[in-house]
Amino acid sequence: MVDYIGVSDILRLVRREGTGHFISRLADEIERDYGRWGDFEKSARLASHSAAGVIELMPTSDGNLYSFKYVNGHPKNTAAGLLTVTAFGVLADVKTGYPMLLSELTVTTALRTAAMSALAARYLARSDSRVMALIGNGAQSEFQAIGFHRMLGIRELRLYDTDPKATEKLQRNLRAMPDLHDLHIVRASSSSDACKGADIVTTVTADKRNAIILTPPMILPGMHLNAVGGDCPGKTELHPDILRMSNISVVVEYEPQSRIEGEIQQMDSQYPVTEFSDLARGVSSGRVNASQVTVFDSVGFALEDYSALRFLHQLLHEERGAARQIDLVPELDDPKDLYGGTLGGRAPARLRKTA
């Protein structure tokens, strides 16, 4: 039997922890795994692109555990009442190849993306950052707001989306959260207006195109840019001249993947970047002075999903008797007799009872 986490299970686990606390704990797990970067197999994700969107597989292993995530990105889905992003994942034992956990990752991906964003900002944003512009107020925005409030101490959010209903939704959800009672919310009239007075600017838009959400005049000395929405070829959010600014530092998750999918796909192959693992391992520093502009060019990397699946499996087993299981793999009295133990009718009693 294989442990299973469905949507109802992830809601129970997160509510038990509290959303902010869950994001913070997950960030710690991600940081620890980036700290042992050399243990992991690394590859750019396998992507199948279409005019409608993208479907991707994201695998990795540290030699003991293996994980992969299936994830899609279809920006036009919302017009049909469907989610833009859905995902599920598997955690497996390398020694046997047996799956240990099958889990939803749609909600979890939003949580881990927020955890990674806030984690990177701990290294890259000024320590006195209290105001964040949040541009793109769709499905990921609440998670980003909660993560930055919890982990960075953000006390003012400046919101903007081209769809006013998205901003209204975000405002409504944020105001209903007791833990965010001290969060001041400002509704901006444009991306430029949202950036006014911001210490951190998070862009998390969904359109699959080379969009220009931020331009150089919006960027002030000392800002940290958390560029989340550009995450596949032909999909960006920053004007390339921002990346050409002097006194700028750009951090990515896994450089070979970010060269294909991130904001730096707009730059030549010699454009200098730092991998986040260098920060986590103390090999490189993040921000070097208060006036530096820093960019986290986030596309999402398989190690973060590995961390999330491992963390979920840990939380699941902290609950006595609450774990659900599914018969994803046959359990046979004779492992050499697959037919006899299944279609041949000689299934073990434990399987016949559930048939």
List, run by run, the mean pLDDT of 10-residue segments along the chain (355 residues). Answer: 96 96 98 98 94 94 98 92 95 98 97 98 98 96 98 98 97 96 97 98 85 95 94 89 96 97 95 98 93 97 98 90 86 91 72 48
Given a contact cutoff of 8 angstroms between Cβ atoms, the answer to whether 150 and 118 are in contact is: yes
HSE, CB side, 13 Å, CA atoms: give it for residue 121.
Answer: 33
Spatial separation of the C-alpha atoms in residues 119 and 216, rounded to whole Å: 25
| Alpha-carbon distances of 288 from 43, 131, 173, 181, rounded to whole Å | 30, 20, 36, 33
- In this predicted structure, what is the pLDDT of residue 349? 52
Residue 75's nearest CA partner among 178, 208, 204, 238 is: 208
The span from the CA of 343 to the CA of 347, in Å, is: 8
**Catalytic choice (231, 241, 297, 305):** 231
> What Cα–Cα distance (Å) separates residue 228 from each residue in 117, 234, 238, 298?
8, 14, 10, 5
The reported pTM is: 0.94
159 vs 195: CA distance, rounded Å? 9
> Which residues is 89 bridged to in the sheet?
69, 103
CA–CA dist 181, 110 (Å, integer): 22
Query: DSSP E strands: which ranges in 215-321?
Result: 224-227, 236-238, 248-252, 274-275, 293-297
**What pLDDT was estimated at residue 211?**
85
Contact 121, 224 (CB under 8 A): yes
What CATH code is assigned to 2-107+304-352?
3.30.1780.10
Q: Give residue 348's pLDDT.
A: 60
Active site residue 231: yes
Record the tokens describing residue 177, joined without a space: 């959260």
Tell me if 125 sits within 8 A of 37, measured CB to CB: no
Backbone angles phi, psi at 311, to 5 degrees: -65, -45
- Hey, CA dihedral for 212, 249, 264, 128, is it positive or negative? negative
Delimiting residues of CATH 3.40.50.720 domain(s) in the chain: 126-299
Contacting residues for 231 by C-beta, under 8 A, at least 6 apart = 73, 261, 262, 298, 299, 300
CATH superfamily of 126-299: NAD(P)-binding Rossmann-like Domain (3.40.50.720)
Structure tokens that stand for 214 in this block: 């931020």
Q: What per-residue confidence (pLDDT) applies to 346?
A: 64
Edge-to-edge order in the sheet of strand 46-49: 46-49, 54-61, 65-73, 87-93, 99-104, 2-5, 324-326
Query: What confidence score (pLDDT) does residue 355 get?
Result: 43
Collect all residues with Cβ–Cβ distance below 8 Å to 294 and sequence separation of at least 6. 124, 125, 223, 224, 225, 248, 249, 250, 251, 286, 287
Three-state DSSP at 125 gives coil
